[in-house]
Amino acid sequence: MHTMLIRYGWLVLLGAIGGKLGAQPIDIRVHDPVLIRQDSFYYLFHTGRGISQWRSKDLRQWERLEPVFAEAPAWTEQVVPGFRQRNHIWAPDVLFYRGRYYLFYSVSAFAKNTSAIGVATSLTLNPADPAYRWEDHGPVVRSVPGRDMWNAIDPNVVFDEKGQPWLVFGSFWLGIKLVRLDTSLTRLAEPQEWYTVAARPRTMTLDERDPGDGAIEAPFLFRKGDFFYLFVSWDYCCRGVRSNYKIVVGRARDIRGPYLDREGRDMRQGGGTLVLEGNERWPGVGHCAVYTFEGRDFLVFHGYDRLDEGRPKLWILPLLWDSEGWPLASLDD
């Protein structure tokens, strides 16, 4: 197994696990990061050829692992012709459920809703374990240009108060969708149950294939207390120093919504309370995930570094909560 150790990149962990880490530069280039812990390791997955992955014992020293898929699953070629050759898989989500690790991922053509969300499972995340093997289960949901006004990318799986699994996903078009999953997590539940949970105003055109200018994507649902918090990214990623990504949030007591921001505005109508935006050094920050490790909440995301030609870097920040239960985060040391 080919590995590479990276030390002191742009991982920022303020007041971090065990209270020993401060703001430290660690050079890990990522898009769309997600984290999970197994035994003594944290595992990081992100957009990349075959789905990129790393692991760390302390969130400071990172070991690069082989990609999840040496070759893209065969079914991806039917969704995006030529995809298997590129094998560039987007925006994973990872979770542990009923004794297995589930890895959801996005297959898409850039700026088109020629897309699908797939899922693979493994009994372990440790490549040295004889049981390590990712078994692909094919597509869970697919969007088709001209048929669907939504985009099947950026998956996140969450469970409601009854333990029912749901998939939230989406990018541009008519916004963020929520759909009920079967308890296998490999297909949609029947009868199907769909909701729109967030959207932004867009200029309508006659071309249904046009993603539009209502820039919203990368949903992540996090349950805390009596609320489900819906984090999404507004504006534009993937433009280097011209990126202006930012993270906003709304909350609801029912996973199906409606999700309202601090001012009571519905996220389906463009509402959203700002959690984090860029600064002079980091013009765009977004595509976040939220986790609780050792009793502390953290915001995981990527930011574009103006001092490094706009390359995307990994950030992990403490996520605090104000007296009214709204999340707080800051790029300042």
The tens digit of pLDDT for each residue in 167-180 reads 999 999 999 999 99
pLDDT value of position 332: 80
Q: If pLDDT is split at 50, 70 and 90, which confidence band does 210 have?
A: confident
Q: How many CB atoms lie within 10 A of CB 194?
A: 12
In the sheet with 194-198, reading across from the earlier edge strand, the strands are: 156-159, 165-169, 176-180, 194-198
* Both structure tokens of 250: 């709304």
In the sheet with 88-97, reading across from the earlier edge strand, the strands are: 48-49, 88-97, 100-108, 115-122, 135-143
pLDDT value of position 26: 61
Q: Report yes or no: 45 and 51 within 8 Å, Cβ to Cβ.
A: yes
The tens digit of pLDDT for each residue in 177-189 reads 999 999 999 999 9
Q: How many CB atoms lie within 10 A of CB 274?
A: 12
pLDDT value of position 6: 40
Percent share of the chain, pLDDT over 70: 91
Give yes or no: 332 in active site. Answer: no
Q: Where are the domains of the chain?
A: 29-42+69-328
pLDDT at 4 over 50: no
Q: Please, what's the b/e burial string for 107-146 (b: 16 or more CB within 10 A of its CB; e: otherwise)?
A: bbeeeebbbbbbbbbbeebbeeeeeeebebbebbbbbeee
pLDDT value of position 93: 99
pLDDT value of position 225: 96
Distance (Å, rounded) from C-alpha 69 to C-alpha 67? 6
Q: If pLDDT is split at 50, 70 and 90, which confidence band does 37 have?
A: very high
pLDDT value of position 61: 86
Q: Please, what's the b/e burial string for 205-222 (b: 16 or more CB within 10 A of its CB; e: otherwise)?
A: eeeeebbbebbbbbbbbb
The tens digit of pLDDT for each residue in 52-71 reads 999 999 888 899 999 999 99
Catalytic annotation, pick one of 93, 217, 235, 261? 217
Q: If pLDDT is split at 50, 70 and 90, which confidence band does 209 have?
A: confident
Percent share of the chain, pLDDT over 90: 85
Please state which CATH number belongs to domain 29-42+69-328. Answer: 2.115.10.20
Mean pLDDT of 107-129: 97
Q: Report yes or no: 175 and 199 within 8 Å, Cβ to Cβ.
A: yes
pLDDT value of position 9: 38
Mean pLDDT over the full length of the chain: 92
Distance (Å, rounded) from C-alpha 23 to C-alpha 313? 14
Nearest to 51 by CA among 78, 69, 39, 38: 69
Give yes or no: 190 in active site. Answer: no
Longest dimension (CA), the chain: 55
pLDDT value of position 56: 95
Q: How many CB atoms lie within 10 A of CB 104?
A: 23
- Write the DSSP string, 89-131: EEEEEEEEETTEEEEEEEEE-TTS--EEEEEEEES-S-TTSTT
Distance (Å, rounded) from C-alpha 322 to C-alpha 327? 7
- Residues 98, 100, 90, 144: is their CA dihedral positive or negative? negative
Amino acid in position 215: A
pLDDT at 23 over 60: no
Q: Please, what's the b/e burial string for 150-184 (b: 16 or more CB within 10 A of its CB; e: otherwise)?
A: bbbbbbbbbeeeeeebbbbbbbbbbbbbbbbbeee
Secondary structure of residue 306 in the 3-state scheme: helix
Mean pLDDT of 181-198: 98
pLDDT at 208 over 70: no
pTM: 0.93
Distance (Å, rounded) from C-alpha 177 to C-alpha 167? 8
* Both structure tokens of 208: 């249904």
pLDDT at 109 over 90: yes
